[in-house]
Chains A and B, each alone.
Chain A
Amino acid sequence: MAFFTPCWSAILVSLAVVGCAGSADPNPARIDAAAWHSASSSLDLTLALTFSPTMLAALDHGIPLTLDFRIDPAHGPRQHQRVSLRFLPLLRRYELDSGGNPAQSFASRLQLLSALDRLRLPVAAAQPVAGRVSFRLDTQALPAPLRLPALFDRDWHLQSAATAWTALP
């Protein structure tokens, strides 16, 4: 058993290294503004995000990219809203599915990314006066072979800081 003490230490150190690798700095992604739109019970977000070349290449190869928005109302349970970006090679069009409404279709990637600048997310909450919202690229939604590389490759890291919102009158 005495021999296993260094063994277990090595295992713990390895796990710590893996853990540190997984928590590398995210790519530039932020929420410039967030406001509650009571008429449509949705959250209007102004985003500033830059997808990495790897992400854009994956998108152009038909791999859907999913942004997971984490919404923490001041009162009430946490909610997740997913926004999916995908490319249809046959139609040569890009789709943006932000949930609730029919997917938006764009002729170019630039239009798609421009549409992400201002995003309206439906929120199933009764007049949340305030709260915090953040988003990240959901690497678990990627195809299986990409998930392990995505864990260690910084090109697949996209995560914003949490931004507070207040309800508009």
Chain B
Amino acid sequence: MSAPPLRRLAKTGRQRWWWVGLPIAASLLLLLAALWLAADAESATSQIGSAYVGLFVIAAIAVLVLVGAVIDEAWRLGQRWRAGRPGSRLNLRLAVLIALLAIPPTLLVSGFAMRFVEVGIDSWFRADVEASQAAAEALGRDVLRSFERRARDRSNALAKRAALAAGGDLQAGLDALVDGIDEPLYLTVYDDNGVLLALAFNSSSIVLPKAPSEAERLQVRQAGQLGKSERIQDTLAWRVLDRVPGVGLLQAIFPLPVDLTPRLEILERTAVDYAQLRFQRRALKLSFVLILGLVSLLALLGALYTALMASARLIQPISDLATATGDIAAGRYDQHLPVSSQDELGFLTTSFNRMASALHTADARERASRAEIELHRTHLQAVLERLSAGVLSFDGERILTANPAAGALLDLAADALIDCPIAAAVAQFPRAAALFAGLSAHAARAEPQWREEIILAGEPKRVLLLRAVRLPGTALARYVAVFDDAEVLAHAQREAAWAEVARRLAHEIKNPLTPIQLAAERLRHKYLGKMAAADAEVLDRATHTIVAQVDALKNIVNAFADYARPPLGERRPLDLALLCNEVLDLYEHSGQCLIERELGSAPVSILGNRDRLRQALVNLLTNAIEAGQAGTLPRIALRLTEHTDAVELAVRDHGLGLPAGFDDRWFEPYTTTKTKGTGLGLAMVRKIAEEHGGSVHGENADGGGARFVLVLPKR
């Protein structure tokens, strides 16, 4: 039996969550990476820093995970499809349909987006933009060059005037120079070794500038002037060095006008950015295409994975229903599907569960009924098999069943009767032809019940009493016939009558015997010595006779009491050979007879009542001794034969043999040829044998004499 769907789900639940969670995490990771990279793509000063390449690697791993998940899911679907699992074809169709709906738009949008990105980046570098940018740069450079020329000229003039002031107070001369200039200026005079000699300034925007280096001083000595632009304390300035003959050199710093500096800085920043973008043109396109590719891959793989998962999830209830329906068709009704939604599929699943539950309950009831019927049938079979009466069931045409007793009573095999046409049975079993002809005739007349006496043909003569009835509640006419051996019934009735007689004898006669005996002995004791010799002799003989006859009567009454005793109680295991030896030992020692034993050395175990079996054995031995011829010591042979299921105890004498016409009636009470005795010996033996489920029979032995055989079952 396949595992129920709920168990299958529980088994794979944790694994499925892992395989669903991993692609979702990869998708989110990929989305975040793409967003981050897109935000940082064209920035010159990256916010991501060293994580930029790492983000690409993470995105690539996420893509690989998604690809793996898609392939894995497709692989599973393919396996289910190849295995012909219920719902797999529908699952495949739905997945393909969803994928067809999702993938082309994704590819279309991605393709156009890439094209737009390329065109968009190219549009940044249009000829007019480049020309404007170049013009702006040229303009800025012209302004700076103009300022530089002016700074150089002024510095040269200031150096000449400083040379004139060198003859007097250099510091005062410099102060006078600075005072006469209305723009920011910082002047310093150094000797040839770079030692500061004097300084003057008219602006606080510049703090003490650095001294000219040795290389700069050398250049000034060689070229007469050196000028360069520098950023000094966040201010763009022109530093000009001029030779001052006889003193050293003059360093003049001209900061750019306050309103010009920020504009030039913007211009310069723009120029730098534009130059950088121009250089990164291809790299920018590559970056955007890569990012767009990641997003497209995310969309594509996400669509594929969603198609596979969604179709599988949608189809799962249908697949479960198909599997469970197959199970029910195969007779496995204990199906219960999880109801995962409240929609039409949920309703279908709920209805299916109700149907399966109803089927399961009905199946359980039907199984219980079948088991009960089977039990009853078994009981009935057991009863029929052990019934002494024959039982046949039949319809108008053929015999349906026959119990073993029916076969035994009709002297045929019961199995041969089963399913045998009645007409054929009439011809096939001539001894019972009258019975079968009667059955057929009564059934043809549709009699509801009948009874009749049937005499079987041939020997031994047997009269059967048959009662038949039509079974009620059957569409076809069916009958049951019960028949019994009339002789057996009569025997049973006689047995019952004898038991009643014995019981009454024991009760009515035994009680007065003892007072009679005591009274006779008292008469004898009281008057025997007082009477004349002749009278005394008469009294003596009379009282002896009374006492002896009372003893005889007691023996008869005891025998009847034994015969009327209720059936034996519990049977116990016993060794029959040992019991035989014990009884034979008593007879052997008494010298009443000669004993020949054929009992074997091994124990012969049976279930039986020791006292009753001893009684049976004693009766058989007594019968054999009494059968002996007068004047000779009786010779008795006792043989014990063990069979598979039974034990056979044979007692043989060497008398005159059985009388003519000896049959089963000789085992009934008071059937005897002896002049003395109770006539209950053999009757007792048969009664004890039947109590043990056995039998007894008599026969003339080869070589003369009679042999009585007691057959007892082992169990």
Query: Are A and B a genuine interacting pair, yes or no?
Result: yes
Interface residues of A (CB under 8 A from B): 3-4, 7-8, 10-11, 14-15, 18, 57-58, 60-63, 88-93, 102-103, 105, 107, 140, 143-149, 151
Name the CB-closest residue of B to A7: B68
Q: Is the CB of A62 within 8 A of B275?
A: yes
Q: Which residues of B contact A91 (CB under 8 A)?
A: 144, 229, 268
Q: Does B279 contact A (CB under 8 A)?
A: yes
Q: Is the CB of B279 within 8 A of A63?
A: yes
Q: Does B53 contact A (CB under 8 A)?
A: yes
From A11, A92, A151, B141 is in contact (CB under 8 Å) with A92
Q: Is the CB of A3 within 8 A of B286?
A: no
Q: Is the CB of A105 within 8 A of B284?
A: no
Hey, what's the 0/1 contact readout for B100-139 against A, CB within 8 Å counting as 1? Answer: 0000000000000000000000000000000000000100
Q: Is the CB of A145 within 8 A of B287?
A: yes
Q: How far, in Å, is B237 (CB) from chain A's closest CB? A: 12
Q: Does B75 contact A (CB under 8 A)?
A: yes
Q: Which residues of B contact A149 (CB under 8 A)?
A: 283, 286
Q: How far, in Å, is B255 (CB) from chain A's closest CB? A: 15
Q: Does B290 contact A (CB under 8 A)?
A: yes
Q: Is the CB of B75 within 8 A of A3?
A: yes
Q: Which residues of A contact B60 (CB under 8 A)?
A: 14
Q: Is the CB of A146 within 8 A of B64?
A: no
Q: How far, in Å, is A52 (CB) from chain B's closest CB? A: 14
Q: Which residues of B contact A147 (CB under 8 A)?
A: 46, 52-53
A8–B459 Cα distance when bound, in Å, is 96
Q: Is the CB of A61 within 8 A of B279?
A: yes
Known: A7-B71, A89-B275. A143 touches B280 (CB 8 A): yes
From A4, A60, A145, B41 is in contact (CB under 8 Å) with A145
Q: Is the CB of A140 within 8 A of B42?
A: no
Q: Does B230 contact A (CB under 8 A)?
A: yes
Considering only CB atoms and an 8 Å cut-off, how many residues of chain B contact the other chain?
48
Sample of 19 further A-B pairs with CB below 8 A, known A11-B61, A63-B279, A148-B56: A3-B75, A4-B72, A10-B64, A62-B275, A62-B276, A63-B280, A90-B137, A90-B271, A91-B229, A93-B228, A105-B229, A105-B230, A143-B45, A144-B37, A144-B48, A145-B287, A147-B52, A147-B53, A148-B52
From A4, A105, A140, B52 is in contact (CB under 8 Å) with A140
Q: Which residues of B contact A10 (CB under 8 A)?
A: 64
From B42, B53, B276, A61 is in contact (CB under 8 Å) with B276
Q: How far, in Å, is A127 (CB) from chain B's closest CB? A: 27
Name the CB-closest residue of A to B281: A145
Q: How far, in Å, is B283 (CB) from chain A's closest CB? A: 4
Q: Is the CB of B264 within 8 A of A90?
A: yes
**A-B complex: 4 closest residue pairs judged by Cβ atoms:** A61-B279, A62-B272, A90-B268, A145-B283
Q: Is the CB of A3 within 8 A of B71?
A: yes
Known: A140-B52, A144-B40. A4 touches B141 (CB 8 A): no
Q: Is the CB of A143 within 8 A of B286?
A: no
- Which of A3, A14, A57, A144 has the most chain B CB within a 10 Å cutoff? A144
Within 193-228 of B, Cβ neighbours of A (below 8 Å) are at 210, 228
- Which of B40, B42, B72, B276 has the most chain A CB within a 10 Å cutoff? B276
Q: Which residues of B contact A92 (CB under 8 A)?
A: 141
A11–B137 Cα distance when bound, in Å, is 50
Q: Which residues of A contact B140 (CB under 8 A)?
A: 90
A-B contact pairs, 15 of them (CB 8 A): A14-B64, A18-B57, A61-B275, A89-B272, A93-B228, A93-B229, A143-B43, A143-B44, A143-B45, A143-B276, A144-B42, A144-B44, A144-B52, A145-B284, A149-B286
Number of inter-chain CB pairs below 8 Å = 103
A148–B53 Cα distance when bound, in Å, is 6
Name the CB-closest residue of A to B232: A102
Q: Is the CB of B280 within 8 A of A107?
A: no
Q: Which residues of A contact B40 (CB under 8 A)?
A: 144
Q: How far, in Å, is A87 (CB) from chain B's closest CB? A: 8
A149–B56 Cα distance when bound, in Å, is 12
Name the CB-closest residue of A to B140: A90
Q: Is the CB of A58 within 8 A of B279?
A: yes
Q: Is the CB of A107 within 8 A of B228?
A: yes
Q: Is the CB of A148 within 8 A of B144?
A: no
Q: Does B697 contact A (CB under 8 A)?
A: no
Name the CB-closest residue of A to B285: A145
Q: Is the CB of A7 within 8 A of B52?
A: no
A60–B278 Cα distance when bound, in Å, is 11
A88–B278 Cα distance when bound, in Å, is 15
A63–B46 Cα distance when bound, in Å, is 13
Q: How far, in Å, is B288 (CB) from chain A's closest CB? A: 8
Q: How far, in Å, is A138 (CB) from chain B's closest CB? A: 9
Q: Which residues of A contact B67 (CB under 8 A)?
A: 7
Known: A7-B64, A62-B271. A144 touches B287 (CB 8 A): yes
Q: Which residues of B contact A146 (CB under 8 A)?
A: 280, 283
Q: Which residues of A contact B72 (CB under 8 A)?
A: 3-4, 7
A147–B284 Cα distance when bound, in Å, is 11
Q: Which residues of B contact A14 (CB under 8 A)?
A: 60, 64
A58–B43 Cα distance when bound, in Å, is 16
A60–B37 Cα distance when bound, in Å, is 26
From A4, A102, A103, A144, B43 is in contact (CB under 8 Å) with A144
Q: Does B591 contact A (CB under 8 A)?
A: no
Q: How far, in Å, is A66 (CB) from chain B's closest CB? A: 12
Known: A143-B46, A144-B46. A151 touches B280 (CB 8 A): no
Q: Does B426 contact A (CB under 8 A)?
A: no
A17–B42 Cα distance when bound, in Å, is 28
Q: How far, in Å, is A161 (CB) from chain B's closest CB? A: 23
Q: How far, in Å, is A54 (CB) from chain B's closest CB? A: 9
Name the CB-closest residue of B to A153: B283
Hey, what's the 0/1 contact readout for B139-156 against A, CB within 8 Å counting as 1? Answer: 011001000000000000
A62–B267 Cα distance when bound, in Å, is 13
Name the CB-closest residue of B to A54: B279
Q: Is the CB of B290 within 8 A of A148?
A: yes
A4–B56 Cα distance when bound, in Å, is 22
Q: How far, in Å, is B238 (CB) from chain A's closest CB? A: 11
Name the CB-closest residue of A to B273: A62
A89–B279 Cα distance when bound, in Å, is 14
A144–B291 Cα distance when bound, in Å, is 12
A149–B289 Cα distance when bound, in Å, is 13
Known: A57-B279, A58-B279, A90-B268. A140 touches B49 (CB 8 A): yes
Name the CB-closest residue of A to B39: A144
Q: Is the CB of B68 within 8 A of A148?
A: no
From A90, A102, A143, A151, B210 is in contact (CB under 8 Å) with A102
A107–B43 Cα distance when bound, in Å, is 28
Q: Does B50 contact A (CB under 8 A)?
A: yes
A7–B290 Cα distance when bound, in Å, is 22
A57–B137 Cα distance when bound, in Å, is 19
Q: Which residues of A contact B229 (CB under 8 A)?
A: 91, 93, 105
From A58, A63, A88, B268 is in contact (CB under 8 Å) with A88
Q: Which residues of B contact A8 (CB under 8 A)?
A: 68
Q: How far, in Å, is B486 (CB) from chain A's closest CB? A: 84
Q: Which residues of B contact A105 (CB under 8 A)?
A: 228-230
Q: Which residues of A contact B275 (CB under 8 A)?
A: 60-62, 89
Name the CB-closest residue of B to A138: B50
- Which of B53, B210, B267 has the most chain A CB within a 10 Å cutoff? B53
Q: Which residues of B contact A144 (CB under 8 A)?
A: 37, 40-44, 46, 48, 52, 287
Within 18-75 of B, Cβ neighbours of A (below 8 Å) are at 37, 40-46, 48-50, 52-53, 56-57, 60-61, 64, 67-68, 71-72, 75
Q: Which residues of A contact B64 (CB under 8 A)?
A: 7, 10-11, 14
- Which of A62, A63, A105, A140 has the most chain B CB within a 10 Å cutoff? A62
A62–B44 Cα distance when bound, in Å, is 11
Q: How far, in Å, is A144 (CB) from chain B's closest CB? A: 4
Q: Which residues of A contact B46 (CB under 8 A)?
A: 143-144, 147
A14–B279 Cα distance when bound, in Å, is 30
Q: How far, in Å, is A92 (CB) from chain B's closest CB? A: 7
A93–B141 Cα distance when bound, in Å, is 12
